[in-house]
Structure 1
Amino acid sequence: MSLNLIDLIKGQLGPALISQAASQLGESESGISKAISGLLPAVVGGLANNADNPGVLNAITGASSSGILSNLLGNSTGNSLITTLLTSIFGDKLAGLVNSVAHFAGISNTSTNSLLNLVTGATLGSVGKYASDNNLDASGIKNLLGDQKGLLSSLLPAGLSLAALGLDTEKWFGKAKENVESVASTAKDNLAEKAAVAKEKIDVTRSEIKEDFHNAGNDGGGSVWKWLLPILLLALAAWFLWKQCDKKKTEAGTVTGDSVTVTQDSSVVSDGTTTVTKVEQDIDLNGAKLKGYLGGMEDKMIAFLKGEGYKKATDDSALKDIWYDFDHVNFKMGSSTELEPGSETQLDNLVAILKAYPDAKIKIGGYTDKTGDETINKKISTDRAKFILKWLSDKGVGSQVVSAEGYGSEFAKIPATASDAERATDRKMAVRFTK
């Protein structure tokens, strides 16, 4: 499987940098995040589309020793190498690209242009470092860039079309078209094969039934088979179609890239060594029903309270190591004040639990992954924890929240060099009981 450069570069564009850029440019963090999500595939596509250009290769090999990654905001602004490179790969489409992304993200063209320089610097630095660490020569870098084309079109965010960027779809993201055609062809072949197998099964069954019908007719029982034969054929066809639909339903819920399998009412998350199954169900809260996961946050907290574990704990030391991670409370990338859709439902569940057990007190914790500046990571995680504290206070249970603290990447386990999907486990919000 080809290396996904997007994941590699995203390691340099984490929440800390987004927060910094938003402050420096005077834009919202969500706008900065949206702009980066549109610019990054375009820049990588531009490099891939110009992999034969000596200027591109020289810029990448030179970036590894330039120290550009050490201060992206400072080193990317006004960098003549980046300006020349962008003009070379985008030409007269550069202004259109900036304008389209600015409109999509809801920020100014000036800010978008600065972010384009920043993203380009992060891209050059990340690819240059990877090439240096893996001893890639010009040919190796060219092949690495060429492998990206098949990955890029699917990475553009919803609402930002390729046409809006003014880029030639087939030229810029060529392999994506080939991949789609290949998948379509494979699906067509599989469907034809399944249809042929079904036909064969029905023909064989029909032949057998005809033989039985003939024998029965000789015995005077043909009148029964005249109406039974069509019913059996219809039942067989219905059974086959049902099996195929059931199989498609299972296959459609499988995401191989992130090792997550989702069925109608459950999800299976594997970290390579353990597998945790989460099945959505009604969680009983003293007669009330909360929608949650079996073994999820609500289920565990309620079980602990019902088992009088909280009452038996004499001080905070008995509770400090038992944290309950939110399953569905997530902030938008780089933001400390905007929740992802669906997050409020689980916060409402926490409110219900605290109201059902008014003597229980909790502490809120915020965590980030290992990318970015640790000082900023600590601030972001603290701000997010305090946002949840305010949210709970507005719902009338603030007196039961003893504190809200951000730990940054202090307890993160996944290396900063891992993919964004892998590092996601370290970016979380959690609560624990306290005295």
Structure 2
Amino acid sequence: MSLNVIDLIKGQLGPALVSQAASQFGESESGISKAIGGILPAVVGGLANNSDNPGVLDAITNASSSGILGNLIGGSSSSPVISTLLTSIFGDKISGIVNAIATYAGISNNSSSSLLNLVTGATVGSIGKYAADNNLDKSGISNLLGEQKGIVSSLLPAGLSLASLNLGSWFGGGSSTSHAEAAPKPEEPKIEVTRSTTAAGTNPDRNNNEGGGSIWKWLLPLLLLIAAGYFLWKQCEKKQTTTTTTTTDSTAAKTDTAATTTPADTSATTTPAAKTDENIDLNGVMLKGYKGGMEDQMITFLKSGNYKNAADDAALKDKWYDFDHVNFKMGSSTDLEAGSQGQLDNLVAILKAFPDAKIKIGGYTDKTGNEASNVKLSKARAEFIKGALAKAGVGAQVLEAEGYGSKFAKVDAKASDAERAADRKMAVRFAK
């Protein structure tokens, strides 16, 4: 299921911003909120209609570093970048949009114009941040925008349509006009036009009730047939996707990594809520961790003597241990999520308890985004952990930090973010 970018943007346009905008523009909060509700789908529609426009893609790509999300009311309304972008996507339709929103929301044209800039800034900034966090290049951004074309019309609030915003030709928007605009001419009853393609024997002089009854005799079975065909098509598509994924996984299992075979990988795909912290015995010192988790597995391996008895690095390279808790904030290689430090401290304690042990750090990403950027990000994250361990006094035991990008990712790039999270991980293995 594709991402609805409107849901992505709503967080930037919450009650606090509505209240601030109402105060600054001298409007009611209800009017501001109503206007934003009409502008947002229109702006997303404008961007979707220009998904291949280089100027639009440049503006989104540069938005994440512009700081625009931090100053929406003060920055967007006067930003030449936003003004240029609006002209690029709407052209001479801007004034019509401003007037339509002002009338719909009961606010002034000046307030409507300022809100159009503000919402555009929030939209571009939010999509730009999402693209940066998920390593989307311009092609990925273009695809994301293109996916919005099918949902924009349905998200306009009651009382607004693409036609009323002078955008009726977009995405087949002409059919989304209001009842007043869609009223048929007296000499051409709408029911007659609807049935202009019926069987040759249809009598045009029948009344509406009789015509309405006859049309359902063939229309209802046709709709049921279409629904059945669609269901069968989706089932076939699902089977094909499953077959492709299975084949890919089988190939990946032959590559040089334990990220595809280690028991820790299996636990990474289970529900975190099912795991419970327990005391893991480290030579009499109790560490908080999961039974069967990273710490438990590493301590068991070291105590077994298998590390000491390993002849060389080749005997160790296929066994990786996934971190259960160490996670980075989206798109960052220096900011850890809350709760990550505890497991790093556990790893430090294990290395200090077994000073002869050496390790290697590995970073991994999912399949979305540019692969070169994925490798760079995963490498930077692995280096960050290596540096953190060095600061804790065990740096000499960390031989290498490597980033593999999406090389060993299993989940399809089109899967949900929650499903792809299993591929975004950090791991550690013993080395010599």
Q: CA deviation at 1:83?
A: 7.6
Select 1:62's aligned residue among 46, 49, 61.
49
**Counterpart of 2:370 in structure 1: which amino acid?**
D
| 1:129 is aligned to 2:146 | yes
Structure 1 contact 368–412 (Cα < 8 Å) conserved: yes
Residues 116-168 of structure 1: CA deviation (Å, up to 9, x unaligned): 58469999945653367xxx4xxx6423677xxxxxxxxxxxxxxxxxxxxxx
Instruction: Give distance in 2, aligned partners of 1:415 and 1:329.
Output: 23
**Counterpart of 1:402 in structure 2: which amino acid?**
L
Structure 1 contact 361–402 (Cα < 8 Å) conserved: yes
Number of the residue aligned with 2:330 = 333
Select 1:278's aligned residue among 275, 280, 284.
275
Number of the residue aligned with 1:354 = 351
Instruction: Give distance in 1, aligned partners of 2:321 and 2:396.
Output: 19
Return the TM-score normalized by structure 2.
0.50
Equivalent positions of 1:390-429 (< 5 A) are 390-429=387-426
Instruction: Give distance in 2, aligned partners of 1:69 and 1:413.
Output: 32
Seen in structure 2, the aligned counterparts of structure 1 residues 131 and 311 have a Cα distance that, compared at 3 Å, is: same
Number of the residue aligned with 1:182 = none
Moved more, 394-403 or 85-94: 85-94
Seen in structure 2, the aligned counterparts of structure 1 residues 64 and 313 have a Cα distance that, compared at 3 Å, is: same
Instruction: Give distance in 1, aligned partners of 2:113 and 2:36.
Output: 16
Structure 1 contact 363–404 (Cα < 8 Å) conserved: yes
Moved more, 312-321 or 58-67: 58-67
Residues 281-319 of structure 1: CA deviation (Å, up to 9, x unaligned): 000011110000011100111111111121222111121
Which secondary structure state, in structure 2, belongs to the residue aligned with residue 415 of structure 1? coil
Return the TM-score normalized by structure 1.
0.50
Select 1:115's aligned residue among 109, 125, 128.
125
Which secondary structure state, in structure 2, belongs to the residue aligned with residue 433 of structure 1? strand
Number of the residue aligned with 1:5 = 4
Number of the residue aligned with 2:235 = none
Q: CA deviation at 1:407?
A: 1.1
Equivalent positions of 1:149-168 (< 5 A) are none
| 1:49 is aligned to 2:68 | no
User: Aligned residue pairs: how many?
Assistant: 269
Moved more, 334-343 or 321-330: 334-343
**Counterpart of 2:383 in structure 1: which amino acid?**
K
**Counterpart of 1:5 in structure 2: which amino acid?**
N
Number of the residue aligned with 1:157 = none
Q: CA deviation at 1:271?
A: 4.8
Instruction: Give distance in 2, aligned partners of 1:118 and 1:302.
Output: 43
Query: What is the RMSD computed on CA atoms of the aligned residues?
Result: 4.8
Instruction: Give distance in 2, aligned partners of 1:49 and 1:384.
Output: 39
Structure 1 contact 332–340 (Cα < 8 Å) conserved: yes
Number of the residue aligned with 2:317 = 320
Q: Which has the higher contact order (CA 8 A, sep 6+)?
A: 1
Residues 2-46 of structure 1: CA deviation (Å, up to 9, x unaligned): 97525x998xxxxxxxxxxxxxxxxxxxxxxxxx8944999xx99
Instruction: Give distance in 1, aligned partners of 2:130 and 2:409.
Output: 28
Instruction: Give distance in 1, aligned partners of 2:141 and 2:359.
Output: 45
Structure 1 contact 69–125 (Cα < 8 Å) conserved: no
Q: CA deviation at 1:337?
A: 1.3
Q: Which runs of 5+ in 2 are unaligned?
A: 18-32, 65-80, 103-109, 132-137, 158-265
**Counterpart of 2:375 in structure 1: which amino acid?**
K
Instruction: Give distance in 1, aligned partners of 2:130 and 2:331.
Output: 19
Number of the residue aligned with 2:430 = 433
Q: CA deviation at 1:112?
A: 7.4
Of all paired residues, the percent bearing the same amino acid is: 48
**Counterpart of 1:49 in structure 2: which amino acid?**
G
Instruction: Give distance in 2, aligned partners of 1:355 and 1:319.
Output: 20
Structure 2 contact 44–148 (Cα < 8 Å) conserved: no
Instruction: Give distance in 1, aligned partners of 2:354 and 2:376.
Output: 31
Number of the residue aligned with 2:216 = none
Seen in structure 2, the aligned counterparts of structure 1 residues 69 and 126 have a Cα distance that, compared at 3 Å, is: farther
